[in-house]
Amino acid sequence: MKSAGFAVRGVIEGFYGRPWSHEQRLDLLGFLGARGMNTYVYAPKADRPSWRETGTRGLGELAERGRQAGVDVVYCLSPGLSLRYSDARDVRTLCEAFERAMEAGAAGAGLLLDDIPMRLRHPQDVGAFDDLAEAQLALVDAVFARTGRLIVCPTVYCGDADDPYVRAMGLIDARVELFWTGRSICSPTIDLADAAAVTRALNRAPIYWDNYPVNDVAMGHELHIGPYRGRDRHLYRFATGVVANGMELYESSKIAFATVADYLRDPEGYDPEESWERALADLVGDGEDLAAYRVFADNVRGSCLEPHDAPRLTGVLEQWAFERESGDAAAAGRLLAVHAQELLDAAGHLLRGPVRRRALVEEARPWLEEFEQGALALLAAARQDVRPHPRRPARKRVFGDCLEELSW
């Protein structure tokens, strides 16, 4: 095992949407500690406009719970949309906000400069600095001098490591950590060669801000409850750590988080499907609840890490089409009916049965309701004269890529 390879192992609350509640954050700290994770990064996108006024209410309790669980709480601010880099008052206001957070118990500070324009916009900044990178280097130096532990998300945080801006970020004090998300914002894979190139460009091994299971913005129709995958088993050689970005759906996020924890604990021995089965058993329960949720979850796998929504259903539909084309419509109907009924039973139990983990199920209700409608459509297809249709458009939350193959 190589668990010591990742110094930073955790979760970042860095999604667009409704932030998690204080109670959920307290619960998360215990969840992370129990799974060998050691970092929670507080970075709600909703706080971005108010960095000058953001207080530290509740931070002390979070920090204390974190200490009890062995989890560092890192407090982030995102001043990039309005801060004037050349204004000493703005810089002082930012530094004082971080100092208050550290006094309240935060173990570190996070300066987030992501999702902002790549050019200086304030006239006084244009006159004071040659470019955005120079201005940000000065800001990072000022904040690091006042905090002692700092993680920075640069404005270019993914893509080509040979980018001039990225190389400029490599000039930051080596004691400052830098976030990186991979080849893209939501990277399907993170391979060792790319990680090595990023490490060379930044002059340090980055902390991967991994955008999974987050499902904000264009991914809002997806429910990311599949396992963590696509990360090199030797990534720890060129990464200080990984923090997984969650969904607004807190209970659902924990399924993926549990698999992230397994990967970070033993990246060389990690098996995504085995980890996922353990996570479902731990977080969903046992018996009929687990059986039903597993059926549902197997049909909402689509994400940046997994291109196929419902691989088992796809196989059933392929066999159904083969049986029909072979002239055995009755066998085709029986095959599809059995599978459709399995899906329908699972949906019915989760939506209306005595489920123990009701909060988890309620978060998934929009997907479950479409899952049930999809199962009914499959059942109808099994009983009627339905043929494959190559061009019918469909955009569903649940196995839409499969249902578009059906035409009445």
Answer yes or no: are the C-beta atoms of 40 and 32 closer than 8 Å: yes
Q: What is the pLDDT of residue 394?
A: 42
pLDDT at 408: 32
State how far the Cα of 208 lies from the Cα of 11, in Å rounded to an integer.
Answer: 11
Taking the alpha carbons at both ends of the chain, their separation in whole angstroms is 54
List the chain pLDDT tens, one digit each, 408 residues. 344 579 999 999 999 999 999 999 999 999 999 999 999 999 999 989 899 987 788 999 999 999 999 999 999 999 999 999 999 999 999 999 999 999 999 999 999 999 999 999 999 999 999 999 999 999 999 999 999 999 999 999 999 999 999 999 999 999 999 999 999 999 999 999 999 999 999 999 999 999 999 999 999 999 999 999 999 999 999 999 999 999 999 999 999 999 999 999 999 999 999 999 999 999 998 899 999 999 999 999 999 999 888 989 999 999 988 988 888 888 988 999 999 999 999 999 999 999 999 999 999 999 999 999 999 999 988 887 555 454 444 444 555 455 555 433
Say if residues 211 and 253 touch (Cβ distance below 8 Å): no
pLDDT score at 407: 38
Cα–Cα distances in Å, from 78 out to 16, 172, 268?
Answer: 13, 18, 35
> What residue has token string 């949720």?
293
pLDDT value for 391: 46
Question: 0.85 exceeded by the pTM?
Answer: yes
Q: Is there a contact between 31 and 253 (Cβ–Cβ < 8 Å)?
A: no
pLDDT score recorded for residue 399: 53
Model pLDDT, residue 387: 56
Task: Please give the pLDDT value at position 102.
Answer: 96
> Domain ranges in the chain?
3-270, 311-407
Contact between 63 and 70 under an 8 Å Cβ cutoff? The reply is no
CATH fold, domain 3-270, is TIM Barrel (3.20.20)
